A and B are shown apart, each in its own frame.
Chain A
Amino acid sequence: MNPSLTKKVIFDFFDGKATAIQRKYVEAWLADEANQETYYQYLDEWESQRPQYPVDAEKALASFQSVLDNSERVDTPVKTLKTIRPGWAFNWRGWSIAASILLVALLGGFLFRSKLLYKSYETAYGQTATYRLSDGTSVILNANSTLRVPRFGFGNNTREVFLEGEGEFNVTHTINHQRFVVRTADNFQVEVLGTEFVVYARERGKRVFLNKGKVKLELPQGQQLYMKPGNVVTVANSGKYQLTQAAPARPYTAWKDHWFYFDNTTLTEVAAQIRERFGVNVVVVDAALAQRRIAGNFKAEKVDDLLQILSELLDLNIVKTHQRIELRTPNYLN
């Protein structure tokens, strides 16, 4: 085919007007390296005829000129565009060994990175603890929870901590308005400047209760939500969330003094809370019993304290087996 015809076909191809056969032709034509040069020449011509928007090249050139003037870094090691030399192929074994070593080193560094950079605070089952962070923020951790904070201080950027479990944060407002971010699993995060709130992030879902100030939530789907004092946001594992306007603080903060707060709470939910806080597997064997609801404040530092209250309140039998504790009504038969 003659050159001018080729050019027309290629322009049509750029415009998206080429037929399948023409595409094949262009593909075959490109197999010759020299033609790839012509291809980019045509592409440049094509682009210059189809401006998308007025480009301010003068301004860009000025800043590029400063790059040219300021960095005479002639000795910079060359990082890019390594051409493959023929000898390379024969030495592939050496390369693969080097690559494996590098991979192991990187992996090791990667695995230990969080250990090196972050300090963990952990609470055991049935235990709560109060910590004061380097910026003055105080955190009360509920039982069975982990908080990771940067080992070497927060630096000048965002103050970031990672939470698994439940904790109450009393965040100090810094002079330079550094944001404080609590990250949890599944891309859920709470962002504040200075305020008091409780974050719950366990297997069953996530919940934030705001006591004072203002917080911003980043939900897993990329949505953002602002909370006002008294608001509770609950996020299910499915990603569905629900905002309750004005809630009393007590149900969300009772755990700080080893209290359980039940308000029309099913026994199933009670069992789940016991599992989370004491690490004891409590099973409600009887379906009707599982739906019974209780209300009230109960102080329990050990799991037995609460179980005793439950048995008296609901007239239950508590059967301790090897791995679990079963709750059943006295006349219930297997």
Chain B
Amino acid sequence: MLSTTRLTEVCMQLLPLNNNPRKADSSPLFSVTHQSESEANVTDDELVFRQLFAQDAKQGCALLFRRYYTNLVNHAVRFVYSKEVAEDLVAEVFTNFWQDRLFEQITTSYRAYLYKAVRYRAYNYLRWELHKSDSLESANDQSMPASLQPDQVLHYSELHQKIESVIQNLPPQCQRAFLLSRIEGKKYAEIAQEMQISTSAVEKLLIRALSKLRQELKAEWFITVILWLSISASYVCI
């Protein structure tokens, strides 16, 4: 077994902080042959992370962050459509992971856990944003279902595709204002200047974009809420 420092060095070399997007095929960074059947579902670099966590959890968290942060933010932003929210949300997932020592409990790979947690939080945030009547606490609700039905797993992807298509179909001005505000994080006044319109017009465009999203996603919520209810019901009926 490698020593901690040596292992860290290896990881540092092999894990560039910004994943190179043009890389045609980001094959697993490590290829480790499976040593036992019990770990059959834990593949590639996950095993290295496991070893690292066993030796130094703090170092492990830092490297896990290095490896997945960019991709997770990329994923979260598809749902919440705000770079700030996406970044905060992913940072929170990692903070909990460390502070509550979740890495000691999870039975899946770290990667699966992180993606599931980010999706779950992003979904809750979106639900809160579109139905402000729920309290913000429910958006930060941490209790995540331990396992998901295949249909639920797929539904997340379909949800962000739906959001993407709603945004693609916004009127051009409306779309531009929305993206400037949410992805580039510009203030109303800056957007107004860039688009040569008044700030109140910017506000109107943003309200229109949100209400369009709300309207289009109504059907989606319905399905998702039903799914959530059905799994909580299945817990009770065990």
Instruction: Give chain A interface residues in 41-57, CB to chain B under 8 Å.
Output: 41, 43-45, 47-53, 55, 57
**Given A37-B42, A40-B111, A68-B61, A52:B71 Cβ within 8 A:** no
User: With the chains together, A26 CA to B155 CA distance in Å?
Assistant: 12
User: With the chains together, A187 CA to B58 CA distance in Å?
Assistant: 46
User: With the chains together, A36 CA to B112 CA distance in Å?
Assistant: 8
Q: Which residue of A lies closest to B45 (CB)?
A: A41
User: With the chains together, A64 CA to B183 CA distance in Å?
Assistant: 22
- What residues of chain A lie closer than 8 Å to B153, measured between beta carbons? 30, 36, 39
Interface of A is mostly: helix
**A78 and B101 form a contact (CB under 8 A):** yes
Interface centre among A50, A52, A55 (most CB of B within 10 A): A55
- What residues of chain A lie closer than 8 Å to B164, measured between beta carbons? 16
- What residues of chain B lie closer than 8 Å to A28, measured between beta carbons? 150
User: With the chains together, A44 CA to B26 CA distance in Å?
Assistant: 9
- Select A81's contact among B74, B78, B146, beta carbons within 8 Å: B146
**B150 and A67 form a contact (CB under 8 A):** no
* In the complex, A304 has a CB within 8 A of chain B: no
- What residues of chain A lie closer than 8 Å to B25, measured between beta carbons? 45
B217 to chain A, nearest CB (A): 16
User: With the chains together, A53 CA to B82 CA distance in Å?
Assistant: 11
**Given A30-B153, A49-B21, A81:B106 Cβ within 8 A:** yes
User: With the chains together, A67 CA to B94 CA distance in Å?
Assistant: 10
Between A and B, how many residue pairs show CB distances below 8 Å? 160
- Select A74's contact among B19, B42, B101, beta carbons within 8 Å: B101
- What residues of chain A lie closer than 8 Å to B99, measured between beta carbons? 67, 71, 73, 76
* In the complex, B123 has a CB within 8 A of chain A: no
- What residues of chain B lie closer than 8 Å to A51, measured between beta carbons? 19, 21, 70, 74
* In the complex, B194 has a CB within 8 A of chain A: no
**A61 and B69 form a contact (CB under 8 A):** yes
- What residues of chain A lie closer than 8 Å to B21, measured between beta carbons? 48-51
User: With the chains together, A74 CA to B98 CA distance in Å?
Assistant: 9
* In the complex, B193 has a CB within 8 A of chain A: no
**B108 and A37 form a contact (CB under 8 A):** yes
User: With the chains together, A80 CA to B97 CA distance in Å?
Assistant: 10
- What residues of chain B lie closer than 8 Å to A80, measured between beta carbons? 96, 100, 102, 142-144
Instruction: Give chain A interface residues in 62-116, CB to chain B under 8 Å.
Output: 63-65, 67-68, 71, 73-74, 76, 78-84, 88-89, 92
* In the complex, B215 has a CB within 8 A of chain A: no
B205 to chain A, nearest CB (A): 15
**B154 and A26 form a contact (CB under 8 A):** yes
* In the complex, A33 has a CB within 8 A of chain B: yes
- What residues of chain A lie closer than 8 Å to B72, measured between beta carbons? 47
Interface centre among A28, A58, A68 (most CB of B within 10 A): A68
B35 to chain A, nearest CB (A): 16
* In the complex, A313 has a CB within 8 A of chain B: no
A19 to chain B, nearest CB (A): 13
* In the complex, B138 has a CB within 8 A of chain A: no
A191 to chain B, nearest CB (A): 17
**A65 and B62 form a contact (CB under 8 A):** yes
Instruction: Give chain B interface residues in 183-199, CB to chain A under 8 Å.
Output: 183
B41 to chain A, nearest CB (A): 4
Instruction: Give chain B interface residues in 1-44, CB to chain A under 8 Å.
Output: 17-19, 21, 23, 25-26, 28, 40-44
**Given A47-B71, A48-B71, A73-B99, A79:B44 Cβ within 8 A:** no
A167 to chain B, nearest CB (A): 27
* In the complex, A162 has a CB within 8 A of chain B: no
- Select A45's contact among B26, B73, B151, beta carbons within 8 Å: B26
User: With the chains together, A53 CA to B81 CA distance in Å?
Assistant: 11
- Select A30's contact among B100, B115, B116, B150, beta carbons within 8 Å: B150
* In the complex, B109 has a CB within 8 A of chain A: yes
**A40 and B65 form a contact (CB under 8 A):** no
User: With the chains together, A60 CA to B115 CA distance in Å?
Assistant: 18
**B109 and A49 form a contact (CB under 8 A):** no
User: With the chains together, A155 CA to B99 CA distance in Å?
Assistant: 31
**Given A26-B154, A48-B19, A71-B99, A57:B70 Cβ within 8 A:** yes
Q: Which residue of B lies closest to A89 (CB)?
A: B238
**Given A61-B69, A76-B100, A43:B146 Cβ within 8 A:** no
* In the complex, B55 has a CB within 8 A of chain A: no
**B154 and A84 form a contact (CB under 8 A):** no
User: With the chains together, A283 CA to B87 CA distance in Å?
Assistant: 62
**B98 and A84 form a contact (CB under 8 A):** no
A27 to chain B, nearest CB (A): 5
User: With the chains together, A65 CA to B87 CA distance in Å?
Assistant: 15
- What residues of chain A lie closer than 8 Å to B207, measured between beta carbons? 222
A57 to chain B, nearest CB (A): 5
- What residues of chain A lie closer than 8 Å to B18, measured between beta carbons? 55, 57
User: With the chains together, A60 CA to B238 CA distance in Å?
Assistant: 42
* In the complex, B50 has a CB within 8 A of chain A: no
A76-B99, A83-B146, A92-B236 known; 5 new pairs, CB 8 Å cut-off, are A34-B41, A43-B115, A49-B21, A78-B101, A84-B235
User: What are 5 of the A-B contact pairs (CB < 8 Å)?
Assistant: A44-B68, A47-B74, A64-B94, A68-B61, A73-B99
Closest 8 CB pairs of A and B: A30-B150, A16-B161, A47-B71, A40-B112, A34-B41, A89-B238, A48-B19, A51-B21
